[in-house]
Chain A
Amino acid sequence: MNDPIITLDNLAIGYDSQPVLSGISLAIARDSFTALLGANGTGKSTLLKTLLGLQPIVSGAIKFHSLAGTKPVFGYVPQAIQFDPLYPLTGFDVALMGTFGRVGPTNFSSRAERDFVHECLNATAADGFAKKKFSQLSGGQKQRVLIARALATKPDILVLDEPTSGVDVAATHSLLEFISQLHRERNLTVLLVTHDLPLVRKHAQQIIWLHHGAVLHGTVAELFTPERMAAIFEMEIG
Chain B
Amino acid sequence: METLKEILSPDFLLRNSVYTSVLVGFACPLVGVFLVLRRLVFMGVALPQISSTGVALALSLPLWLGLKMDASREQTEHLLAFAGSSLFTLAAILILAFMERRGRGLPEGRLGAAYVVSAAASILLLSKNRFAEMGWLDLLKGEIITVSNFDLELTGGALAFVLLVLGWFNKELLFVSFDRAMAATLGKNVLFWDALLYLLIGFTVSIAVLSVGPLIAFGFLLVPALTAHIFARDMKWFVILASVLGGVAAFLGFWIAYAWDLPVGPTDVVLLGILYVLGFVVKKIASLFN
Q: Nearest residue in B to A161 (C-beta to C-beta)?
A: B181
Contact of B179 among A74, A83, A105 (CB under 8 A): A83
* CB neighbors of A among B165-185 (8 A): 168-169, 171-172, 175, 177-179, 181-185
B37 adjacent to A87 (CB under 8 Å)? yes
A78 adjacent to B181 (CB under 8 Å)? yes
Interface size class of B (residues with CB under 8 A): 20 to 34
Task: Tell me the dominant secondary structure on chain A's binding face.
Answer: loop
B172 adjacent to A78 (CB under 8 Å)? no
B66 in contact (CB, < 8 A): no
- Measured between beta carbons, the chain A residues less than 8 angstroms from B234 are 88-90, 93, 133
B185 adjacent to A97 (CB under 8 Å)? no
B150 in contact (CB, < 8 A): no
Contact of B237 among A53, A88, A103 (CB under 8 A): A88
Query: Closest Cβ of chain B: how far from A146's Cβ, in Å?
Result: 9
Determine the distance from Cα of A108 to Cα of B174 in the docked complex, in whole angstroms. 13
A106 adjacent to B169 (CB under 8 Å)? yes
* CB neighbors of B among A65-123 (8 A): 73-74, 76, 78, 83-84, 86-90, 93-94, 97, 100-101, 103, 105-106, 108-109
Query: Closest Cβ of chain B: how far from A55's Cβ, in Å?
Result: 10
Task: Tell me the dominant secondary structure on chain B's binding face.
Answer: helix
Query: Closest Cβ of chain A: how far from B132's Cβ, in Å?
Result: 40
A54 in contact (CB, < 8 A): yes
Given contacts A100-B172, A105-B168, contact A88 B183 (CB under 8 A): no
Query: Closest Cβ of chain B: how far from A73's Cβ, in Å?
Result: 8
A141 in contact (CB, < 8 A): no
- Measured between beta carbons, the chain B residues less than 8 angstroms from A149 are 182
A86 adjacent to B37 (CB under 8 Å)? yes
B233 in contact (CB, < 8 A): yes
B238 in contact (CB, < 8 A): yes
Chain B interface (Cβ < 8 Å from any Cβ of A): 36-37, 39, 168-169, 171-172, 175, 177-179, 181-188, 229, 232-235, 237-238
**9 CB-based A-B contacts, threshold 8 Å:** A54-B184, A74-B185, A76-B185, A83-B178, A97-B175, A97-B178, A106-B168, A108-B171, A153-B186
Beyond A100-B171, A133-B234, 15 extra complex contacts between A and B, CB < 8 Å? A49-B181, A52-B184, A73-B186, A76-B181, A84-B39, A86-B36, A86-B37, A86-B39, A88-B229, A90-B234, A94-B178, A100-B188, A105-B171, A108-B171, A109-B171
